Structure formats: structure tokens, C-alpha cells
Amino acid sequence: MPKMTFVSPDGKRHEVEAPEGLSVLEIAHRNDMDLEGACEGSLACSTCHVVVDPDWIDRLKDPTEDEEDMLDLAFGLTKTSRLGCQILMTGDLDGLVVHLPEGSRNVLKD
């Protein structure tokens, strides 16, 4: 089974099983990682924003225009920022490392 690592804001690393076909957001929720996902992965918010380790960013498919639009709303945006709901695990991503940002901006809350 592929694995991936979440790096929390305090630098602690959490290696977890990452079943193929699941999104980084789904994997985070299965493993009690602090990644909100307010829109439940429907690409309508930026609360599942993660920062992909630079060594891994070129292995991901390019973000869609819709994802880029949502990323514009993300807290702490970086050059390797992506939405966790849009990264689907494959065998090629075994070992993926993503950093969880210190916060999120939820435009869905009043």
C-alpha cells in the first residue's frame, strides 16, 4: 500500500497509508489530520489547502483553472500550494510529502 507523509505546522511528521484512488483530503480525514475540507471536496473552497514538498510538485498533474481560482483564496499560499481534494493518490505518488498550513480561510462560513 502506498504511503504519504503529512507535516504539521509544528514540523511533526505523520506517515500514513494512502490508498490509491483516494484524495489527500480523504486520506487526511481517515487519519485525523487537521485539514478541514469544508466543501467536502467539491472544489468550492480552499480549506483543504496543502503545501506540496518541492521534491514532489513536478510529479503531480497540473492544477485546473478552477483549482487555481480556489487557491487564490487560500491562507498562506505558496508556489507549491495545491488543494488536497484535487490530488488523487496513485502508486507513482508513494512517499508523497505535504505540509499542513497554520490556518485556513473558510469563505463558506458566515
Burial of 91 (0-12, 13-18, 19+ CB in 10 A): exposed
Task: List, in order of start, the domains of the chain with CATH numbers.
Answer: 3-99 (3.10.20.30)
| pLDDT exceeds 70 at position 108 | no
35 backbone φψ class: left, alpha, beta (φ>0; ψ -120 to 50): beta
Residue 109: CB atoms within 10 Å: 8
Q: pLDDT tens digits, residue range 18-73?
A: 999 999 999 999 999 999 999 999 999 999 999 999 999 999 999 999 999 999 99
What CA–CA distance (Å, rounded) separates 51 from 45?
16
What pLDDT does residue 110 have?
A: 39
If pLDDT is split at 50, 70 and 90, which confidence band does 109 have? very low
Question: Is the whole-model pTM more than 0.85?
Answer: yes
